[in-house]
Each structure stands twice: as C-alpha cells, then as structure tokens.
Amino acid sequence: MTARVAVIGAGIGGLTSAALLAARGADVTVFEKEAWVGGKARRVEVDGVEIDGGPTVFTYRGVFDDVFAACGARLDDHVTVRKADVLARHWWDAASGPLDLFADHAASVRSFAAFGGSDAARGYSDFAAEAQRIFDMLENPFLHGDKARTPLPMMRRMGLARLPEMLAMRPFDRLWPALGEHFKDPRLQQLFGRYATYCGSSPFKAPATLMLIAHLEARGVWLIEGGIHALAKALAGLAIRQGARVRTGAAVAEILTDKGRTSGVRLASGEVIAADTVICNGDPSALATGWFGAAAQAAVPPIPRARRSLSALVWYAHAETAGAALSHHNVFFSRDYAAEFRDIAQGRTPAEPTVYVCAIDRAATRDAPVPTGRERLQIIVNAPADGDVHAYTAEEKERCTNAMMATLARCGLRLPADFAHQLMTPQDWERLFPATGGALYGRASHGWAASFQRQGPRTRLPGLYCTGGATHPAAGVPMAALSGQLAARAIAKDRASTKRSPQADIRGGMSMPSATTGSTR
C-alpha cells in the first residue's frame, strides 16, 4: 500500500517534501490556502507590474540541484539562473561612496582595501577564513543532519576528538564583539552583523556562529528570472510530474487523528481527506496555538513571544530613482545600529532604520545598466513581530515610510515623495501567516542553544511532521528546502520502522522505487 501524505502549505519546504515523497511512490496532496504556491515567495502587483513579494537572495543552489536530481530532473531545465558578480552594494552616507562585496574573493579584498585601507582588507580576509571554517564544520552534521535537542548528538557525529574545533565555532560568543576582532571600523562590523537578520535575529544577541552565513553567500548568489516565486512554481511542477496533486485555495481547518496518530485533514470547506502522514509547512506556532485543532496543539512546544524572530516593513514599489547607483542587492545603513535594535526590542519600529533595497530590474554587475523610467523595487526595514497585538495606523505607516526615505536620502538615493507602492506591515504578515505576530523566520537565533530549540521534522504526534523556514535547520530559501529533505527522510525512515514492527497499528509502508519523471495521477 502506498503512503498517503497530506502537505499543509505550498511553501518551499512543503513543495520539496512533496516532490521527494511523490518520487518515491507516496500518494501526495498539497493543500494551500492562498491562490498561489510559494508561501512567502509570491508576486505582488503594484502599478500594473509584478514585484517579487518575498525572499530575493538565492544561495546554496546545490540543495536544489540535489532535489531536482532526486526526481530525475535538472534545475536549469526549469528555471533560468545566473550567478551574481556583485553580492551586495553597501552605503553609510552619500559622501563616502559604496562598498561592494563580490563573488570573487580577490575582488572583495581589493574593494575593502579601497574603502578602508590595508587593515580593512586584512580584516576581511581573516573574517572570510573564519566564516568558512565554521561553515565547513557545521555543513554536514548540522545543516544536513537530523534535529537534536542538545549539541551532544551533533558532537558525536563530528567526533569528540574535534572538540577544540567545535569550540572554534564560537557558539558562546556574541556576533557583534566577534566581528570587532576582525574590523576596527564599526561600519564593517555593521555590514557583517546584518547577516544575523537573515535569520531574523539581532547581531547583538546572536552567536558568532552565524558568521557562516557570510561564507554561504560568498560561495555564490544567483538571480532567478521571475524571482524566487519562479523557483516555487518549478518545485510545484516537479512535484506534480512525480504524481503529487497541488490544490490552491484549499485551507486546512483541522488535522485529524485516530488511535493517537494522524488520520487526515479537514478542509475549511468541510471536505475530509484521509492521510497516514501530515506535513505542516508553516510556522510551528500555528500548531501550538491550536490553529489546526486541539489534537495537533500539543504536538509542538509554543514559541514565546519574546523568542520570536524579526518581522519586517516591506514596500513593493514602482518608481524612478535618482542619485546612488544601485546594483541588484543594496543596503543603506543607519548611523546607530545598536539604537535600531533597541527600538525593535522595545516593540517600536526603528526611528532611523537600515534599509535593504532589491532593484529587481538591475543586474548584479559592477556597472549594471540603469533602467529607463520607473523600476521595480522591494524595500525592507526590520520591525518587531507584534502584528497580533498592534494595529498599524495610516499615520504610523506614513511615519515609517518617511523614516525609510530619510535613510535612503542621507545615503544619496532619492525616491519621489508620492512613489507608487504597497506596504506590508507585521499586521499584514500575521494575516498571511497566522499565530506568528508577523515573525518571518520562526524562533530568533539568540543564544547558543537557540538553534537546538527550533522545531525539527518530527513532532510529539505520530504521523505529523514539520517543514519550512521556521523549522530546523534555519530560515531562508535553501534552508527551507533542506527542511523539506529532512522531513521526507524522517518520514521514510519512520514508515520503514513501523512496517517492520509487529506492533504497528497501520498496515503497509512507503514504496521506495527509484525516482522517475513524467508520471501523473
């Protein structure tokens, strides 16, 4: 008998699990409450044009190469991908000019030397080497490894003889002072401290281990034609070709159980679908707060409000720009980074924010052509995850917009006062992703134990699994796909174990043929 799998949510993690399980013979149906696939990786229409509505940075593409290969396909046959030359362009003011970070390490060293002299170049080289060491230590045992409650299982996988190297990963050091060991210039601390926000965390509370994010990006940033949403659509197509079904506009109201384990789902329409296995591709908080019914509520621990990751104010804009020469990825820094995160910790939007601008229509090259007329922009400012308790008024939205534009203007980029845009607040993110307060990355990575407190693929309810950017191993597009791989692996292992057990209540098991393509159901 083929396993019946219901996937709640068509985000990157859920689609990855669906494709991999369907390729191995499972009967998979994905249920998505929205009209689109991709979760946060969506498209937003503003002023008659479509703008990337979610993640804009695509790294660690080997994860997706592996997913497509497991399904007998190639990533490059389904999306158009090109490698970025300029990883990001950074500004602190209009006078000092930008600092570019390049895919080529030697070019980055020269860039740092031109910006801050030999000390800055040497500091960058030393930092890059440490970031690589940390990444190399953690890639297989942590990023690709099973979720553990403590570091001990991971340490055993790595080998206790390597304890000095494990301590060199600096889990007990804070990121901000660790960066100060490499960079005397606080602006460069700020540049690499911002990587903590990639997983929704403060650089002043996150562990120095998060240096590894910089190395992951240095290995390559790619631009996908059509944005990350095109990747999500490709994953959905991949799953369908393996025989999975993807139903949009199909909200799940309840996870059903029988004899102490999952038995299916009930849709908001009242339709009941039987399933041996249920995968929740969403923030675990939705389970913990009873969003999917009482039976699933105790399956995962709740995330305390104080442990939530960052949310964001996001402007989707179609506007002419003037002044600063944009690349594809751009960061305009505040003058007081600590004050910015104090504001957020106290439940306020930053008075003077750091602003990320994705100039969608520009190439990630040194001399990207300047679009004629208006261009598509996604503009992001970090914000507290208070969307379930705080209503953003028109006056507050205007104040946040003015603060964002003031940072850009101070750094030399000008937008028209009445630029066409749509603004998403934490309150709006809460509506899209209930029970999160608008937190976009699950649990914040604050403290050495935070990574081990993230929800893993298995839950306390047999037959219920979790995947997505709010689960192990971390937030972000490739990490969500890794979580989908881990969930599929856990399901296959658990079903094989159940099939062998004479005490099993559920008959049958998962068929595990080699991956094929072109099958339909």
pLDDT digit string, tens, across residues 279-329 = 999 999 999 999 999 999 999 999 999 999 999 999 999 999 999 999 999
Give domain 4-41+226-304+447-500's CATH superfamily.
Answer: FAD/NAD(P)-binding domain (3.50.50.60)
Among all chains, which residue has been given the structure tokens 């592996």? 66
Residues of the chain with CATH 3.50.50.60: 4-41+226-304+447-500
Per-residue pLDDT tens for 342-384? 999 999 999 999 999 999 999 988 887 888 999 999 999 999 9
3-state secondary structure of 422: strand
Is the pLDDT score of 507 beyond 80? no
Beta strands 245-248; 27-32: pairing state: parallel
Per-residue pLDDT tens for 160-178? 566 555 555 677 899 999 9
pTM of the model: 0.91
Is the pLDDT score of 497 beyond 90? no
Question: How does residue 514 score in pLDDT terms, banded at 50, 70 and 90?
Answer: very low
Buried b (16+ CB within 10 A) or exposed e, 184-223: ebbbbbbbbbbbbbbbbbbbbbbbbbbbbbbbbbbeebbb
pLDDT at position 170 is 74
Per-residue pLDDT tens for 204-234? 999 999 999 999 999 999 999 999 999 999 9
pLDDT at position 152 is 57
Question: How does residue 32 score in pLDDT terms, banded at 50, 70 and 90?
Answer: very high
3-state secondary structure of 107: helix
Among all chains, which residue has been given the structure tokens 């030999």? 118
The average pLDDT across 253-271 equals: 97
pLDDT at position 150 is 53
pLDDT at position 449 is 78
pLDDT at position 336 is 97
Question: How does residue 506 score in pLDDT terms, banded at 50, 70 and 90?
Answer: very low
Per-residue pLDDT tens for 115-148? 999 999 999 999 999 999 999 988 887 788 776 5
Question: How does residue 517 score in pLDDT terms, banded at 50, 70 and 90?
Answer: very low
Of residues 498 and 125, more confidently modeled? 125
Torsion of CA 512, 514, 519, 521, to 10 degrees: 0
Contacts of 202 (CB under 8 A, 6+ apart): 196, 310, 341, 344, 345, 444, 446
pLDDT at position 157 is 61
pLDDT at position 143 is 81
pLDDT at position 494 is 92
Per-residue pLDDT tens for 398-429? 999 999 999 999 999 999 999 999 999 999 99
Is the pLDDT score of 89 beyond 70? yes
